[in-house]
Amino acid sequence: MTERSDLELIEAFRQGEESAFNEIVLRYQEKIYWVARRFLSNHADADDIVQEVFIRAYERIQEFRSESGLYTWLYRIAVNASLNALRRQKVREFFHLDSLLEVEDTGGESPDRALEKDEHRRLIDEAIQRLPEKQKAVFVMRYVDDLSYEEISEILKTSVGGLKANYFHALRKIEEYVRRAHES
């Protein structure tokens, strides 16, 4: 049987075929997970975003316009949800509740293996998390997700020139953070 296109799935779902929504989730869950994971750096938060994205998509499928692709639409929801989650994290940090809420995230690795977590990965993660929100978003979309500047511009409503500057400064800050950590 031929796999249905995104538009066919959306149309079927709009007509009441619930299983079409299941197909959409199965088709895009992994991509959306990794978008969120790059923003939030831990599995539990990324999982929350995945749930949120598909629940929103389910409830707002009528808002989807076929001019943009389904993945682009889901991606935009994921980026916005991730940025909102980052803001909430900042508030939590302000209340000094991180230590109470912190749960060791082993990402599925054994505890021993988690303890041996790669030092470079940790430093890079830390550096990315310290970036200002906009620079982080541009870095994730350009470096990790390989989007064109035009696509990012559409999502973040920023000029291409501004995006290039954000990308440059993001890379510069990550590089400086990692280098200084190694030097010290």
Partner 1 sequence: MCAVHTNHEYYQLQLPDSVTGRLEEQQRLELEAHLASCDECNRRRAEFSTLVALMQHSRPSDPPSHYFSNVLPRIRERLEQRSTRGESPLVSRILAPLGALAVVIGLLVQIPMDKDNDLRAMLGALKSDELADVVVEEAEHQSLYLIPSTESLAAALSDQAIDRELAAAILLDGDDATFESVTDLSDQDVNLILERLGERKIL
Where do contacts with partner 1 occur on this chain (CB under 8 A)?
Answer: 22, 25-26, 29-30, 33, 37-38, 41, 43, 46-47, 50-51, 54-55, 58, 84, 87-88, 90-92, 94-95, 97, 100-101, 106-109, 117-118, 120-121, 124-125, 142-143, 161, 164-165, 167-168, 171-172, 174-175, 178-179
Q: How far is the CB of 53 from partner 1 (least distance, A)?
A: 9
Report the distance separating Cα 177 and Cα 74, nearest Å: 32
CB of 162 to partner 1, least distance (A): 10
Please report how close the Cβ of residue 34 comes to partner 1 at its closest, in angstroms. 8
Q: Name the phi and psi angles at 109, rounded to 5.
A: -80, 160
Q: What is the DSSP letter of 62?
A: G
DSSP-derived 3-state class of residue 87: helix
The DSSP letter of residue 142 is: I
What angle do the packed helices 70-94 and 149-156 form, to 10 degrees? 60
Shorter beta-carbon distance to partner 1: residue 7 or 44:
44
DSSP assignment letter at 140: I
- Considering beta carbons, is residue 66 or 84 the nearer one to partner 1? 84
